[in-house]
Structure 1
């Protein structure tokens, strides 16, 4: 007979704002109750802390960091907004022109350019990466798209300014600059989410650093959606895991774009190239690219997506039963780990247009395959090239 895990009761005070967010998370159907939510959150945080230890700041350092973040955030926002100003350097004074600029960011630092001449790097060795599907905290793909687009544009900028190509650029500098851009973009997209009345799980700004605590929010974004080169050579983060970027520890840390990353960066994106008021975060071409890419180079992710689609088709369409099916992918996962993996998979598949959510009762959620999801499950390899 197995031994039961001992439990300790811990009583803490939680701000009202967090209580409301926990209530909404539970009511969305992703968690059975508040206890499960808190347990999962603690386990995820401990895993994150173990993966990336951060030095504690003094009060003075924290205040200085916040002030610096605010100044940098304003500068980045001005850079994105001002990049389509006229040649004389004068900003348009008409509000309608500003709104047009915000809804059409093609000429901004995040807009699509020509990347044929930038140099790419080799893919990471899979031995440097965690096995299995993407970690559940990598719950969206648009943040990955934003990172590879920013990296491609930075490599293109360096090539133009220096009249020479560079495969690798400074990781800490790119990390900080991209987090600033992501926060500015995230706030603009979140504003449109609110105007459109999008609910939790539907918001296009999900995964971007839009939290009230800018430092913590951007740090999470950097850890999850830019990545880290750890001592010993291991890499963490969604872009390295997807073999879209590679990283080195030399010279204080460097990052480069793989051939697959360059291809993904070059695809037109509704939000980055069409406008922040777009109705989707990924284009059809981007969605098909992702499915084809993971099938070829990250088969564990593709297999997990197939497992979820098959389970939903067979009637295991509720969070608890779907988690049980996902758990078969790795017998070593704890129940909380399986829930986190399942949550990440369903979130990414929702963004890919493969699954949808529907309300069951007052608080329950069920998943269902879309027409795209049905085609994904039944057409196999032909799905990625099907027009």
Structure 2
């Protein structure tokens, strides 16, 4: 096995060190390993889960009922670059997409912030195109990738798409608007990072997490590939989280909001609409409740995983290590410890944003407790109703 030595800045090293010490990653090696798989997923136009399936030391076929597609053993192994796992959701663009190089702009002016907020502003939906109905496709049946650790990016995507469609009178082609959307999201992300610094927020309190930054093209690519879609050099589009949550769908190369995505876009948001730099949450209570209901109805794998975590905490699990140990057996045995930790961390982050789980810090140590009990009971009640 090749042995690599890398140089990290002091700041980056300390940030990774904190995550490892909290038990969110087994070691520095596991953190770098996960980062490598994540980058390969973007480069190859494949799903992160598939890269893990190919590349980890324990390589076995993942079962379909675990949200992964098993390979057909009777066929020869496909080209690792060409193979895709979400064939049911891939959409071919008429022509290969040539992504335009967008210049990095580290310095953002107040006029930039104002212009971006205008494109995210809440506007009445009067003469826009008809939204699509949600569908129970294969993508919505898959487990949400652990790196999708915030839900505010879904809000930004829905609001931006709604406003763009209202202006143009039709749903936009993804390859036409992706850079513009990412640029506006990066502007908001840069501003929220400044607000985080001014308010001395701790890591789990940061408003800017999950959003790209101006002057960082890699963060823009990650934002698009994790929340909107990945595009291969051949022009194929692989929908990401906004479609997995059935808030949007692709119609050929156009990306359209679903009925629920449009409704979500019209809810008021403390960041986009109030521009409240003192806000402690990125979603309003109505938005969190809306997404929780959306998950219950349309994202079964996410619903199941979230219920597993909530039941573990309800049963007395308090710390990250205890939670990982309690739920490890509920995930595919082929998953490495690093993948389980990443998946669990993503679930905890999303549950927190939904107000279903709370993280309580004592120094550098964190414990978990249930969030708003009415919503928790509603979320868990659906599991009981399914069994009855």
TM range, smaller chain: 0.7 to 0.9
Q: How do 1:116-195 residues align onto structure 2 when only pairs under 5 Å count? A: 116-123=126-133, 126-129=136-139, 131-159=141-169, 166=170, 168-195=171-198
CA RMSD of aligned residues (A): 2.9
Distance 1:39 1:187, change over 3 A: same
| Counterpart position of 1:209 | 212
In 2, Cα distance between equivalents of 1:79 and 1:291: 33
| Counterpart position of 1:267 | 267
Alignment partner for residue 244 of structure 1, among 247, 268, 273?
A: 247
Distance 1:196 1:359, change over 3 A: same
Distance 1:17 1:115, change over 3 A: same
Deviations 1:17-39 (A, max 9, x none): 32122123224442243233223
| Counterpart position of 1:70 | 105
Q: Is the counterpart of residue 31 in structure 1 residue 31 in structure 2?
A: no
Q: What secondary structure, in the 3-state scheme, does the structure 1 residue paired with 2:360 have?
A: strand
| Counterpart position of 1:49 | 43
| Counterpart position of 2:297 | 296
TM-score (norm 1): 0.75
Deviations 1:50-77 (A, max 9, x none): 4358xxxxxxxxxx946x3329x859x6
| Counterpart position of 1:101 | none
In 1, Cα distance between equivalents of 2:262 and 2:331: 31
Unaligned 5+ segments in structure 1 are: 1-6, 54-63, 84-104, 160-165
Contact 1:229 1:248 in 2 (8 A): no
In 1, Cα distance between equivalents of 2:239 and 2:226: 8
Contact 1:23 1:34 in 2 (8 A): yes
Contact 1:188 1:276 in 2 (8 A): no
How far has the Cα of 1:82 moved from its partner? Answer: 5.4
- After TM superposition, the structure 1 stretch with the greater mean CA deviation from structure 2, 227-236 or 274-283, is 227-236
How far has the Cα of 1:375 moved from its partner? Answer: 3.0
In 2, Cα distance between equivalents of 1:109 and 1:347: 27
Unaligned 5+ segments in structure 2 are: 47-80, 82-99, 383-388
How far has the Cα of 1:138 moved from its partner? Answer: 1.1
| Counterpart position of 1:349 | 351
How far has the Cα of 1:257 moved from its partner? Answer: 1.2
In 2, Cα distance between equivalents of 1:269 and 1:205: 15
**Greater helix percent: which structure?**
1
Contact 1:28 1:200 in 2 (8 A): no
| Counterpart position of 1:308 | 309
**How many residues are paired up?**
327
TM-score (norm 2): 0.75
| Counterpart position of 1:11 | 5
